[in-house]
Amino acid sequence: MNDDASLVLRATDVSVAYEGRRPTRAVREVSLELHAGEVLGIAGESGCGKSTLAYALTRMLRPPAVQTGGTIEYVDRDGRTWDLTALEPGELRKLRWAEFSMVFQSAMNALNPVTSVGAQFDDIFRTHRPEMDRAERRERARRLLEMVGIDPKRVRSFPHELSGGMRQRVVIALALALEPRLVVMDEPTTALDVLVQREILDEISRLRAELGFAVIFITHDLGLLLEISDSLAVMYAGQFVEYAPARRIAEEAQHPYTQGLLRSFPSLRGGRRDLRGIPGNPPDLRQDLDGCPFAPRCEHAFDRCRTEAPQLLAAPGYWPFSCHLRDVPNGSEPRKVEVDERA
């Protein structure tokens, strides 16, 4: 059972907005906990706030994005708790990559195109491990490449000389260079073919088992997260709408949005079934959201959904999900409202 002794990260009511004439509230009062060795998956459609949350958790937000509320606490390997939202840039630099790191969505954007792979490892070691000499830095870089399945000779290669899968493996090796306690992975297999995706996912699972780091894995692919995650958070309109053990969500998801996502991809083990998309579009996050953000697309919506926002609370015997159906007595039939099915 997870306890505070194994806690790695705790975020409480984190909110992020993109400033402008009409601010976009991309993340709205999100809370989560992550424990040692755990894989937390975060799923949702494009634009739901997943990547913005990842950048907020690692204090990598850039203008016009700004954290407007909440706290983020990180517990280092010595048991010291750091309030990431209050750290000065110098203190934050000491923690990044040494304690927590990030695998970015686009490897070519994450790697410097005019610098060799070895030089990019060198930058990390010279900054965080100044006691290492040149030979030690080069040997460590070679071992890291070998660890992620790349020929150590590639330490002299430039990013454009590597395939997409190899570049992604290099980014993972860079993130693991200092053996951090937490790695945030933002769609690490996007734009890769399915065989390379499988190789990289297997590599991540092997490395996690070997090194024991915790993972926040972000993707729109709910099926993938059900396979690799211990816990799963489903995100919609900048909020978590369901947060539970991945196995329980696979068996009996409670939120209509989660159920819709599950219906939208084929089962590899069950019988054939018709796939159903979710009608309509996500809401405009520049607007104030009245009621449940998912109500215009929900086939179960009733009058209360239009006027009152549901809370992320657990029903007896279940886990937290934000839906008014949680409060509807069994056997009753609340009056439904018309569902907006515009594409």
Per-residue pLDDT of 277-327, as tens digits, reads: 898 999 999 999 999 999 999 999 999 999 999 999 988 888 999 999 988
Conformational region of residue 37, where left means phi above 0, alpha means psi within -120 to 50, and beta covers everything else: left
Which pLDDT score, from 0 to 100, does residue 215 have?
A: 97
Question: How many whole angstroms separate alpha carbon 76 and alpha carbon 329?
Answer: 45
146 versus 337: which is more confidently predicted? Answer: 146
Say whether pLDDT at 30 is over 90.
Answer: yes
Question: How many whole angstroms separate alpha carbon 18 and alpha carbon 52?
Answer: 10
Give mean pLDDT, residues 243-254: 94
Q: Which of 230, 249, 239 lies closest to 318 in space, CA to CA?
A: 249
Say whether pLDDT at 343 is over 50.
Answer: no
Q: Which of 26, 15, 24, 22 lies closest to 49 in space, CA to CA?
A: 26
Contact 262, 242 (CB under 8 A): no
Give mean pLDDT, residues 222-235: 93
Say whether pLDDT at 336 is over 60.
Answer: no
Say whether pLDDT at 78 is over 80.
Answer: yes
Would you state the structure tokens that stand for residue 306, as one six-digit string? Answer: 């239009």
Say whether pLDDT at 71 is over 90.
Answer: yes
Say whether pLDDT at 125 is over 90.
Answer: yes
What pTM value is reported for the model?
A: 0.91
User: pLDDT by residue (tens digit) across 129-149?
Assistant: 999 999 999 999 999 999 999
Confidence of residue 122 (pLDDT cuts 50, 70, 90): very high
Which pLDDT score, from 0 to 100, does residue 1 have?
A: 41
Confidence of residue 331 (pLDDT cuts 50, 70, 90): very low
The residue extents of the domains of the chain are 1-99+180-277, 113-177
Which pLDDT score, from 0 to 100, does residue 267 have?
A: 62
User: pLDDT by residue (tens digit) across 163-179?
Assistant: 988 999 999 999 999 99
Which pLDDT score, from 0 to 100, does residue 333 have?
A: 54
CATH architecture of 1-99+180-277: 3-Layer(aba) Sandwich (3.40)
The helix (H) or strand (E) run that includes residue 124 is: helix 117-128
Confidence of residue 223 (pLDDT cuts 50, 70, 90): confident
9 versus 191: which is more confidently predicted? Answer: 9
Q: What angle do CA 192, 198, 204 make, to 5 degrees?
A: 100
Which pLDDT score, from 0 to 100, does residue 334 have?
A: 58
Which pLDDT score, from 0 to 100, does residue 152 have?
A: 96
Would you state the structure tokens that stand for residue 39, as one six-digit string? Answer: 């894989």
Lowest-pLDDT range, 108-117, 133-142, 207-216? Answer: 108-117
- Start-to-end CA distance of the chain, whole Å, equals 44
Would you state the structure tokens that stand for residue 1, as one six-digit string? Answer: 């059972």
Q: Which of 168, 158, 73 lies closest to 120 in space, CA to CA?
A: 158
Question: How many whole angstroms separate alpha carbon 91 and alpha carbon 99?
Answer: 12
Which pLDDT score, from 0 to 100, does residue 109 have?
A: 76
**Over pLDDT 70: what percentage of the chain?**
91
